[in-house]
């Protein structure tokens, strides 16, 4: 089959369309002909040699896709050839075919195109897990979502609003904040111009954020502690700004009884990822069909131009998801 391959670890010009062996379909797996794949920042790290796939998983880039089931392996019970599915992968999304566990392959919500579905799994599952499984977000609580216009940020904003939370987001420009407001964000903070902890306190009547979704890490750590409410919970999903802390005053951790959790979805067990996928599709599929939730597409780029897709996400130009159209 054709797949996007990496000549040697480095810049986006190392990506090329080449030949790779067809995936083998194991027990409880389905073989999917991929129509479109989501581009994730993690793919750019893997391309640079900084985020290797878990042992035994495909070396091909790509953490999510949408496509059509063409074969079912022994033990499959729910899906059949012709079914339209989307889902997270441990790798292998930038290719014509991928084999994945049947439990990870979610039926595409009615009325949705492959290109819309292709970028949903990674960001919506991450957002659902971070807000509710790890952050314990409750209706009426305040949530602060950094990188509000990112893929995960746009998904988290919609899910938090649906759950009845007040949503405060940060982003680097008015254009990005406008996009966040259009998705339901109550308060937008331009972190380049404003002091975000002060604005969070102002926006929440001095209460602070009950849940905080962070990707920036070290440069934000102290200010995140200042933004959290009593009994606040912070979920860390990335180290975009750096991972080494210096001179942090930890007193708010005790004084405010804070909880900090970190996670990576890719390293979770298959059982965990299947449970998350199945809960997600059961809870939200109809909301996508009704339009209450929507995938946020930044752009659709043919996979022959995968270099442009990687350059765009690395330049922080995207609002929502960049999608690769496969074949």
Ligand X SMILES: NC(=O)c1ccc[n+]([C@@H]2O[C@H](COP(=O)([O-])OP(=O)(O)OC[C@H]3O[C@@H](n4cnc5c(N)ncnc54)[C@H](OP(=O)(O)O)[C@@H]3O)[C@@H](O)[C@H]2O)c1
- State the nearest-atom distance from the C-beta of 237 to ligand X, in Å: 4
Report the half-sphere exposure of 282 (CA within 13 A, side-chain side).
8
Residue 88 lies near ligand X (rule: CB under 6 A): no
User: Which residues ranging from 163 to 182 are in contact with ligand X (CB under 6 A)?
Assistant: 171-172, 176
DSSP per position, 54-109: PTTS-SS--SEEEEEEEEE-TT--S--TT-EEEEE-SS--SBSEEEEEGGG-EEPP
- State the nearest-atom distance from the C-beta of 104 to ligand X, in Å: 15
Orientation angle between helical segments 121-128 and 151-162, nearest 10 degrees = 50
Residue 264 lies near ligand X (rule: CB under 6 A): yes
Contact between 148 and 320 (Cβ < 8 Å): no
Reported as type and span, the H/E element at residue 33 is strand 29-39
User: Which residues ranging from 99 to 158 are in contact with ligand X (CB under 6 A)?
Assistant: 122-123, 126, 147, 149-152
- State the nearest-atom distance from the C-beta of 179 to ligand X, in Å: 10
- State the nearest-atom distance from the C-beta of 250 to ligand X, in Å: 22
Q: Are strands 2-6 and 15-19 parallel, antiparallel or unpaired?
A: antiparallel
Helix, strand or coil for residue 291?
coil
Number of amino acids touching ligand X (CB under 6 A): 26
> Which residue, 63 or 258, has its beta carbon nearer to ligand X?
63
- State the nearest-atom distance from the C-beta of 49 to ligand X, in Å: 15
Residue 37 lies near ligand X (rule: CB under 6 A): no
Of 37, 61, 76, 265, which lies in the binding site for ligand X, with binding defined by CB under 6 A? 265
Residue 210 lies near ligand X (rule: CB under 6 A): no
* Spatial CA neighbour of 109 closest among 86, 129, 130, 132: 86
In the complex, which residues of this chain contact ligand X (CB under 6 A)? 40-42, 122-123, 126, 147, 149-152, 171-172, 176, 215-216, 237-238, 240-241, 263-265, 313, 316, 318
């Amino acid at each position: 089959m054709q797949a996007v391959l990496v000549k040697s670890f480095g810049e986006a010009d190392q990506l090329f369309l080449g030949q790779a062996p067809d995936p083998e379909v194991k027990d409880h797996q389905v073989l999917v002909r991929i129509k479109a794949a989501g581009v994730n920042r993690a793919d750019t790290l893997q391309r640079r040699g900084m985020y290797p796939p878990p042992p035994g998983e495909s070396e091909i880039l790509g953490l999510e896709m949408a496509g059509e089931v063409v074969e079912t392996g022994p033990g499959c019970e729910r899906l059949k050839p012709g079914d339209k599915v989307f889902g997270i992968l441990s790798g292998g999304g930038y290719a014509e075919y991928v084999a994945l566990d049947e439990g990870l392959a979610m039926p595409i919500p009615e009325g949705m195109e492959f290109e819309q579905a292709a970028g949903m799994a990674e960001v919506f599952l991450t957002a659902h897990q971070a807000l509710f499984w790890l952050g314990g977000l409750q209706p009426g609580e305040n949530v602060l979502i950094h990188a509000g216009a990112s893929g995960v940020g746009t998904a988290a904003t919609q899910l938090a609003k649906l759950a009845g939370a007040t949503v405060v987001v940060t982003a680097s420009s008015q254009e990005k904040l406008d996009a966040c407001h259009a998705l339901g964000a109550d308060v937008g903070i331009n972190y380049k111009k404003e002091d975000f902890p002060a604005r969070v306190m102002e926006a929440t009547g001095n209460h602070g954020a009950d849940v905080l979704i962070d990707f920036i890490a070290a440069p934000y750590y102290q200010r995140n502690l200042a933004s959290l409410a009593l009994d606040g919970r912070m979920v860390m999903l990335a180290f975009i700004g750096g991972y080494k802390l210096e001179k942090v005053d930890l007193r708010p951790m005790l004084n405010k009884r804070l909880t900090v959790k970190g996670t990576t979805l890719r390293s979770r067990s298959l059982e965990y990822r299947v449970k998350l996928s199945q809960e997600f599709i059961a809870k939200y599929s109809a909301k996508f069909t009704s339009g209450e939730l929507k995938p946020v597409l930044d752009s659709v780029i043919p996979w022959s131009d995968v270099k442009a897709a990687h350059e765009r996400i690395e330049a922080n130009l995207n609002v929502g998801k960049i999608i690769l159209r496969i074949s």
